[in-house]
Amino acid sequence: MTKIERLLHEYETHIRLPWQKGLAGAQKVIFVVYDKADELKLRARIEEFEIATKAAGHSWTLCDLTDSFPHWMAAIDYRDSYFESPDDIEGLMPQFVTQIISDIATVLTDGSQDETRVVALTGVACLFGFAHVSEIVKGIAPHVQGRLVVFFPGEHEGNNYRLLDARDGWNYLAVPIKVSNGI
């Protein structure tokens, strides 16, 4: 069984469990943690996670953040001047984070969302260098009605998450789903 198959099995097992009601948004967040080298393999099989979710009686909405930065940057009137002086882009990052949070919050609160829906975030690795996943999750957590599943290429130890194994992690109390080395 491959690592992605084992991860899918762990996800299936967890998503089938009865969902506790009355949780705060931050308690409804699930991180599916996998090795950054398996990003393309996981993405190729993302539909299997959707199938598992639906088989467990939940609906599914996929929110892919892969192209969020280029789309946001393309909408900026003075983008060409920022490309001439890339260091100036850093000053725009709070606006980018605000936009990402707003976009995801819109998905989380649209009329089709309810307490049985899973909203899945993919492409968080593409935010690296532009935004921190921890800041985005913190900003959208209050809007989670069902469950928010973040497909997270990195590491998890204790309550500490590290995106792409490349920066200091942050402590977050999301439910981690991962494949242990011993399986």
- The pLDDT confidence band at residue 170, using thresholds 50, 70 and 90, is low
Look at residue 183 and tell me whether its pLDDT is greater than 80. no
Q: Mind listing the pLDDT tens digit for each residue in 125-134?
A: 888 877 888 8
Q: What is the mean pLDDT of the chain?
A: 85
Percent of the chain with pLDDT over 70: 82
Q: Whole-prediction pTM value?
A: 0.88
Residue 105: name the closest of 132, 131, 140, 133 by CA. 140
Residue 58: name the closest of 30, 93, 34 by CA. 30
Query: If residue 152 lies in a helix (H) or strand (E), which one and from where to where?
Result: strand 147-157
- The pLDDT confidence band at residue 55, using thresholds 50, 70 and 90, is very high
- Residue 66 phi/psi, 5-degree rounding, is -50, -50
Angle at alpha carbon of residue 8, lines to 6 and 11, rounded to 5°: 110
The pair of structure tokens assigned to 14 is: 């967890």
Half-sphere exposure of 106 (CA within 13 A, CB side): 7
The pair of structure tokens assigned to 128 is: 């690296």
Look at residue 181 and tell me whether its pLDDT is greater than 70. no
Mean pLDDT for the stretch of residues 96-111? 90
The residues, any chain, with a CB within 8 Å of residue 21's CB and separated by 6 or more, are 115
The residues, any chain, with a CB within 8 Å of residue 133's CB and separated by 6 or more, are 124, 127, 150, 152, 161, 163
Give the least confident one: 48-57, 69-78, 138-147.
69-78
